Structure 1
Amino acid sequence: MLSGISKLLGSFLKFIYDFMVQAFPNEPESISFFALSIIIATVIIRVAVLPVNISMMKNQKKMAELQPEIEKLQRKYKNDPQTLAVKQQKLYKEANYNIFAGCLPMIIQMVVLIAFYRVFLEPAKYAFTDKAFFESINKNFFYLKNLEFKDTTMILPAMAGITTFITSYLSSKNPANQGNQQANSMMKSMTIMMPLLIFWMSRNFQAGLALYWVVGNIVSIIQQLITNAIIAKDVSEEVK
């Protein structure tokens, strides 16, 4: 399955690169068509999975609607955690609410990350099948001479970790999650662990892969800010 996803992503990356070469006569000195292809492909991929994010947003809105009932259960069974858990699960089931739906976008990101890792690991197999051609093209990105190698300056890995933290932090501040102990606990763990994991991984990844993650996170941050604003508005209307 991952091999198929890698081939699809590799072909898509090559398609964007070929399009840019044909569309623009001159390649910018500071940023290569290869780097721009990664950025454009990342934005398009994130937009493509937008329906998943919309589904997650609907799930969060449903959680906001259920919050008053959950608080009633928490007060009623505050001394009986087992019964509280059973009652909450029953409420979620009746409302068709999936408490783990918020993790789906992150899972999809990780699958794409692994698939892209395979593309950069074997570009001649998944994207630029002409090895000589791939070695001849520019792969610079501002301060980096070649995105095919690790970023020894640690700038991109640090940005990957920081933007991952911001994404997780904004998710934890979603009004729909306030008062949801299970969701809050999960979000707190992700806010701490994911940035550290991504930073550690990015130190050993090709810089192109780290660039993909940073750009993807920036798109996710924008989406999360919009989502939080929409949820906050709906919650305030419910209160009124």
Structure 2
Amino acid sequence: MSAISKVLGSFLKLIYDVLVGAFPTEPESISFFALSIIVATIVLKLVIIPLNVSQIKNQKKMAELQPEMQKLQKKYKNDPQTLAAKQQKLYKDANYNMLAGCLPMIIQMVVLIAFYRVFIDPTKYAFTKDAFSAMNKNFFFIKSLEEIDKTMVLPIVAAITTFLVSFVTTKNPANETMQNQQSQGMMNGMMIFMPIMILTMGRRMQSALVLYWTVSNIFTIIQQLISNYVVSKGAEEVK
């Protein structure tokens, strides 16, 4: 993880240096440090778009399988073992991979942990001590992203966007079949648990990490809405 943190730290510094060189003056309301976090987050999300495209294709295929899934659920509703076996055969025949959608989430969590290390010790992974001490780190109402946002505005926004990520994900037509099963309760639970967890963490973590999470969520929400539209159109074509 230390190696990943060093790569992300160097990447963050590169963006910061580019911004400093590209603009003659630093905006008063938002520092180059804050801008570098935002830009780095967006670039990283763009890099994994191929994985997300693969995820969309997988979700579209799941939506197309729904009519057959519903038939199996109705036919074997009293025989869960046979239902599970028939579903696995259906997935295999359709070349559908249930784990394909997990990879972008795993990558996001790895990046989150790695960035956490960068922001906890920026002089180890990104900047020299003198340079980091001298730079501005303000972000609108937050005087320094190195500190905790005591106003709780940014953590609350992070929690809200985390909820919206879960909410728009559940609206994906590919998840309708899954929601008819026992996983519905789990998904609803996560929709409530995750925002609370992020809000709690946001009260204790540096604002820089909370800003990264919020920007990442906003990008994911837009991306998921596009995915929902594509998958929905595919499901309509099948019908």
- Normalised by the length of structure 1, the TM-score is 0.94
The 3 A distance-change label for structure 1 pair 108 and 157 is same
The 3 A distance-change label for structure 1 pair 99 and 182 is farther
The 3 A distance-change label for structure 1 pair 39 and 140 is same
* Matches of 2:102 and 2:190, distance apart in 1: 10
- Is residue 119–residue 209 contact of structure 2 (8 Å, CA) maintained in 1? yes
The AA in structure 2 aligned to 1:195 is P
**90-99 vs 219-228, which deviates more?**
90-99
* Matches of 1:92 and 1:184, distance apart in 2: 20
* Matches of 2:53 and 2:110, distance apart in 1: 19
The AA in structure 2 aligned to 1:13 is L
2:160 maps to 1:162 = yes
* Matches of 2:190 and 2:164, distance apart in 1: 11
Q: Which residue of 1 aligns with 2:149?
A: 151
The AA in structure 1 aligned to 2:207 is A
2:223 maps to 1:219 = no
Query: Any residues of structure 2 matched to 1:4-153 within 5 Å, and which?
Result: 4-128=3-127, 130-153=128-151
* Matches of 2:153 and 2:162, distance apart in 1: 14
Per-residue CA deviation, residues 65-118 of structure 1 (Å, 9 max, x unaligned), is 111111111111111112111211222122222223333322221111100000
* Matches of 2:184 and 2:51, distance apart in 1: 21
The AA in structure 1 aligned to 2:52 is N
SS of 1:99's partner is: coil
**RMSD, matched Cα:** 1.3
- Is residue 159–residue 195 contact of structure 2 (8 Å, CA) maintained in 1? yes
* Matches of 2:94 and 2:183, distance apart in 1: 17
The AA in structure 1 aligned to 2:3 is G
- Normalised by the length of structure 2, the TM-score is 0.95
Structure 2: stretches of 5+ with no match in the other structure: none
- Is residue 64–residue 234 contact of structure 2 (8 Å, CA) maintained in 1? no
Structure 1 residue 59: Cα displacement: 0.8
* Matches of 2:189 and 2:213, distance apart in 1: 20
* Matches of 1:92 and 1:118, distance apart in 2: 39
Aligned length: 237
> How many percent identity over aligned positions?
63
**223-232 vs 195-204, which deviates more?**
195-204
* Matches of 1:9 and 1:142, distance apart in 2: 24
